[in-house]
A = this chain, B = another copy of it.
Amino acid sequence: MRMFLLPIAALLTPASLLAETRPALSPPEIVAAAPASDWVRIAPADLLVMDLAPTAAGTPRRVVIQLLPAPFSQGWTGNIRKLAAARFWDGTAVVRVQDNYVTQWGDPDAEDKAKARKLPDGLAVMAESAYTVDQIDIQLAQFGEERTPESEAQWRKDLSSVKRAPPPDPRRNPDIIGTRTRSAPDGWHERDAYAPYVQFHAGWPLGTAGKKADARFWPVHCYGMVGAGRNMSPDTGTGAELYTVIGHAPRHLDRNIALVGRVIEGIEHLSSLPRGTGPLGFYETPQERTAITAVRLGTEFADLPGYEYLSTESTSFARYADARANRRDAFFIRPAGGADICNIPVPVRRAK
C-alpha cells in the first residue's frame, strides 16, 4: 500500500503548544511569528495579474489573483490561462459593482453578437457537476494518476484505512474546546449554515458533504474569492466574465457558480470602486466603467514579487484559526468561542 498524506486540514493544536501562546497573541501576531517553513510559495503559473487604468491622480492599480489548484475548477482555470495568453481582457472593463456583493469584469459588449470580442479557440465547456470534486479526485491529482475504475477502487481502499487523529480531550484542553467552541478540534468546523462540514485544504476554504474521506468537496464564496459569471443554467460560464466577492460571503452561490481563485493583493482597487446604479449594480454608462489595461499570467513577468500563503496544515495556522475563534488579546472581553470559515481568511503575503 502506498503512503500518502492525509489532505484534510488537521487543525489539531496540542495543549503544549497552546500553553506557549500565553500571554495571548492576537491573530496578526501569531501570523507574524510563524516560521518560514509554515509558508507555502505560490507558483507564478497560478497567478493572474490584472492592471486597471491608473486613478485620476495617476496611482497604478494592480490586482493579483491566485487561481485554484487542481483538482478544482480546472476547466475554467484552463480557459482563463488561454484567455490571458490571447490578450482577451486587454481593453475590457469593470462593468458591475454591486454593494455588499460583487465586482464583475469582462467584455462590456459580450451580450451584443455584432460587437462582442471573439473568444479564443479551444475553450472548454464544463458541466454543472464540475462545481464539486471528491476526495478521490484530490488523491489522484496529487499523485498524477488517471481516474480509472481500478485506481478509484485502490484509493477508496486506501482512504478507508486512514486513521484520523482522535479529538483532544476537552477536560485537558479547555481553551480550544470550551463549551461552545466549534473551531475544528479535529479539522472539521461544525455549525456551518451552508454545508454539512467546512474545512481548510491546501490553503483554501472548502465545504464538504461528509466526514468520510471520499466525501465531495467544493470551494466556498468568502470575501475576495473570484468566480466565473454565467447566464441561466445549464450555462456554466467560460471564465471570460469574472467577479470577486466584496461583501458578506454570498455562500448561497456555493456549488451554483464556479469559483476559480481569489484576490491575494489589490482587492481594494475592486472593492472601493463606485457602485453601479443600474439593476444588479451594472454601470449605466460606459464612462462609469474602469478600464482594464492588461491581464497576464504570472509567468509572463520577470520582476513579479513572490507570494506565499500560510499553510493551512501548519501549527501556526491552527493557532491563528483558534485565535480568530477565541480572541484573547487585550481588546476583547468575551471570546466568541467559534468563527465561521469566511471569518478565518488564509494569510497571504509577499515572500521575504
Contacts and interface: CB of A to CB of B under 8 A. Distances in A.
A248 B249 contact: yes
A191 interface: yes
A86 to B, nearest CB: 29
A343 interface: yes
Chain A, interface SS category = loop
A110 interface: no
Nearest to A330: B232
A255 to B, nearest CB: 5
Contact of A249 (B183, B250, B343): B343
A336 B193 contact: yes
Given A271-B100, A343-B249, A334 B194 contact: no
A334 B223 contact: no
Interface stretch (A76-84, A118-126, A272-280, A292-300): A272-280
A343 B250 contact: yes
Nearest to A335: B252
B252 A339 contact: yes
Interface in A248-298: 248-252, 254-256, 267-268, 271-275
B232 A99 contact: no
Contacts of A128: 333
Interface in A179-193: 180, 182-183, 189-193
A132 B275 CA distance: 35
B267 A99 contact: yes
A14 interface: no
A256 B99 contact: no
A13 B58 CA distance: 55
Given A99-B268, A267-B99, A256 B331 contact: yes
Contacts of A213: none
A248 B222 contact: yes
Contact of A334 (B250, B255, B324, B337): B255
A342 to B, nearest CB: 5
B99 A194 contact: no
Given A232-B331, A254-B336, A273 B275 contact: no
A340 B271 CA distance: 22
Contacts of A222: 248
Contacts of A233: 330-333
A168 B125 CA distance: 43
Contacts of A99: 267-268, 271-272
A273 B272 contact: yes
Contacts of A100: 223-224, 267, 271, 345
Contacts of A273: 272
Interface of A: 97, 99-100, 128, 131, 180, 182-183, 189-194, 196, 222-224, 232-233, 247-252, 254-256, 267-268, 271-275, 324-325, 327, 330-340, 342-343, 345
6 contacts: A97-B272, A191-B192, A251-B336, A252-B327, A256-B332, A271-B271
Given A233-B331, A250-B343, A252-B332, 7 more contacts: A180-B196, A194-B340, A232-B330, A247-B247, A248-B249, A256-B333, A340-B340
